[in-house]
A and B are shown apart, each in its own frame.
Chain A
Amino acid sequence: GDSVTQMEGPVTLSEEAFLTINCTYTATGYPSLFWYVQYPGEGLQLLLKATKADDKGSNKGFEATYRKETTSFHLEKGSVQVSDSAVYFCALSDQSRGTSYGKLTFGQGTILTVHP
C-alpha cells in the first residue's frame, strides 16, 4: 500500500537558519504530494502541494519539488522564523486508481522549533 516516511525529529533551529525536512513516499500509482502544517493549538492546514513530477509547490517561503526518480518531496525554507515553529506532515493522495476521492496518507510528522 501507499506510505510516507519523514525524517525523524524534532528539529531545532535558530532564526534565519536553513530548513530541510526530508520526505520519501511509496505509491503504486501517480500520487499528488502535500505538506501540511499544524501550528500549536490549531488544526491541520495545507502548506503546499504538487500534482506531478518536477512540479514545485511553494507558499510562505517554503518550497518542495516532486522528484519521481527519488520518490521524494523534501520541504525547504531558506530562512526560518520563530513563527514557523509547528509540526509538519508530508502526505500523498493517489487519485490515479479507482478510489479517486483524495484520501490522504500521512507521514508521522516532524516537530520544528525555531529559537530567536
Chain B
Amino acid sequence: GAGVSQSPRYKVAKRGQDVALRCDPISGHVSLFWYQQALGQGPEFLTYFQNEAQLDKSGLPSDRFFAERPEGSVSTLKIQRTQQEDSAVYLCASGDLGARQFFGPGTRLTVL
C-alpha cells in the first residue's frame, strides 16, 4: 500500500516568502508528527496531531510556524516570512496511537 507522501519534495524560497508543505499520511493513521532535520543533524520534533487535534506544538521554533490537520488526514506545515535558518528537511510521520511511526521522504526547504 501507499506510504506517507510529502510535497513538494524540494522547495526554494526567497527570504521573506511564505511556504506551505503538505503531508499525506497513511490512510487511517490517527497520529501525525512533523519533524525538522537540519543538515548533518537528527530530526527534531515540531508538532503532533491526534486526528484533527493539535495536542503538542512545543517544538515549533517561532510563531512563524503553523500546522494544521483540519479533517484528521492531510496536514500542512506553513512557514511565514521564511528566514535562512529555516532551511532544513521537514519530515512527516504517521502511525497508530503509541505505535510505530512511518516516515515520509521529507521536503527539503532552501531559503535564499
Among A43, A91, A107, A108, max chain B CB count under 10 A is at: A43
Interface SS of chain A: helix, strand, loop or mixed?
loop
- How distant is the Cα of A59 from the Cα of B44 in the complex, in angstroms? 25
* Chain B interface size, under 10 / 10 to 19 / 20 to 34 / 35 or more: 20 to 34
Interface string of A25-48 (1 = CB under 8 A from B): 000000000000000001111100
> Are B33 and A103 in contact, CB atoms less than 8 angstroms apart?
yes
Interface string of B19-44 (1 = CB under 8 A from A): 00000000000010101000011111
How many pairs of residues, A versus B, come closer than 8 Å at their CB atoms? 55
Q: Which residue of chain A is the closest to B44 with respect to CB atoms? A: A106
Q: Which residue of chain B is the closest to A6 with respect to CB atoms? A: B42
Chain A contact residues, CB within 8 Å of chain B: 4, 42-46, 89, 91, 95, 99-109
A/B interface sample: 25 pairs, CB < 8 A: A43-B3, A43-B91, A44-B103, A45-B103, A91-B42, A95-B98, A99-B56, A100-B98, A101-B31, A101-B56, A101-B98, A102-B31, A102-B97, A102-B98, A102-B99, A103-B33, A103-B45, A103-B56, A104-B33, A104-B35, A104-B43, A104-B45, A107-B42, A108-B40, A109-B42
